[in-house]
Chains A and B, each alone.
Chain A
Amino acid sequence: MKNEMELLFDAISDNEGFARVAVSAFVAGANPTLEELADIKTAVSEAVTNSIIHGYENLYGYGGAKGQPADRSRINPGKVRVHCLLEGDMLHILVRDEGKGIEDLERAMEPLYTTKPELERSGMGFAFMEAFMDDLEVESEPGKGTTVRMKKKIGVGDWIDRED
């Protein structure tokens, strides 16, 4: 079975939930385990959040900065593209932005490294994508944007059998 879909949405934090729920609904047809579905949602959330915060520098989520609602006029325009391809039991996810790109990709991929410590984020975005998906590739060009490609085999987990 082959199935494909693409989403294009504004780079604002309101769309983080939408993106991961849409991807998880798309994948549901391929009979993933609950654990796989949770993993995919987390990985998509990480990639999309990175595009919004780092690619387009729309830093504040719900509540905005210092308790003020996010000022819509100060939101940097930009779109995030999420493309999913299901080929048999292999899921390919591509998350692309045309934001500012990553200067030092090697450092960016290091766990706990963050260019925005003031946001008190964990610096574990790429580490989570790597942990939750089977394969991760990142391409980035400063000033042009970043593309994240992830792969995961669906329907191989054993959530139910593995009671610990």
Chain B
Amino acid sequence: MEQITTEDFQVIDNCLMIRLPEEVDHHRAGFICENADRLLCRENVCNVVFDFENTRFMDSSGIGIIMGRQRKIACFGGRVYIIHADRQIRRILSISGLERIVEVLES
């Protein structure tokens, strides 16, 4: 399985793009949060995009990751976008109620 690396975090204009790994769980959450937050405070980022293209599994740790970043950027008027979420990921987002505070974009 491919591991997430720092190359999966890219700042394009005022957007932080995060390409999530195949499985988003507690084991990988620390790495994702630390790298995201490092770029959030260093660069002039206002929006965060989570790309689920490669992701086949997510549990409530993933919800924690998204909620945490949302809280950090919301006070500066930033938004969180979710792209390429498959059916199962959408179910998790909808059960958690996160769909109401982030923008889930149709692919």
Give the interface of A toward B (CB within 8 A): 13-14, 16-17, 20, 35, 38, 41-42, 45-46, 49, 52-53, 60-67, 119-125, 127-128, 131
Contacts and interface: CB of A to CB of B under 8 A. Distances in A.
Given A49-B59, A121-B61, A122-B67, A65 B30 contact: yes
A93 to B, nearest CB: 15
15 contacts: A17-B25, A42-B57, A42-B92, A61-B26, A61-B30, A62-B27, A63-B30, A119-B64, A120-B33, A120-B64, A120-B68, A121-B26, A121-B61, A121-B64, A124-B96
B60 A122 contact: yes
B45 interface: no
Interface in B1-44: 3, 23, 25-31, 33-34
Nearest to A164: B87
B81 to A, nearest CB: 19
B88 interface: yes
A13 B24 CA distance: 12
B65 interface: yes
Given A46-B60, A123-B60, 20 more contacts: A13-B25, A17-B27, A38-B57, A42-B58, A42-B59, A45-B25, A49-B25, A49-B59, A52-B26, A61-B27, A61-B28, A61-B29, A62-B28, A120-B65, A120-B68, A121-B26, A124-B60, A124-B63, A127-B95, A128-B60
